[in-house]
Amino acid sequence: MSPAEGPLANPRVRFAPSPTGKLHLGSARTALFNWLVARGSGGSLVLRLEDTDPERSSEEFERDIIDSLHWMGLEWDEGPDVGGAHGPYRQSERSDIYRENAERLLAEGKAYRCYCTPGELEARRKSVVSSGRAWRYDRRCLGLEAAERERLESEGAPSTVRFLVPEGSVTVEDMLRGEVVVDAGEIDDFIIVRSDGSAGFHLAVVVDDITMEITHVIRGDDHLTNAVRHVLLFGALGATAPKFLHHSLLMGPDGAKLSKRHGSTSVSDYREKGYLPVALTNYLALLSWSPGDDREIFTLGELVSEFGIAGVSASKAIFDFDKLNWLNRQHMKKLSSGELTDMVAPFLEREGRAELLALPREKLELAVESVRNGMETLTDAVGPTDIYVRPAGSIDDKAGAELDKSDVLDEALGLCIEALRSAGGSDREAAEGIVESLRAAAKERGWGAKKVLWPFRLAVTGLTVGPDLVYLIMFWGADGCAERIEATRRTLEARDG
**Is 398 an active-site residue?**
no
The sign of the torsion formed by the CA atoms of 367, 373, 393, 476 equals: negative
Q: Which of 260, 273, 323, 363 is catalytic?
A: 260
Instruction: Indicate left, alpha or beta for 377 from its phi (over 0: left) and psi (-120 to 50: alpha).
Output: beta
Largest Cα span, the chain? 112
∠ CA 251-68-371, rounded to 5°: 85
Count of residues making up the chain? 497
Cis peptide before 88 (omega within 30 of 0): yes
CB 1: neighbour CB atoms within 10 A?
Answer: 13
DSSP string over 66-110: HHHHHHTT---SBBTTTB-TT---BGGG-HHHHHHHHHHHHHTTS
d(CA 346, CA 246): 38
271 neighbors 6 (Cβ within 8 angstroms): no
CB-facing half-sphere around the CA of 259: CA atoms within 13 A: 5
CA distances from 278 to 51, 69, 93 (A): 29, 12, 34
- Write out the catalytic residue numbers: 260
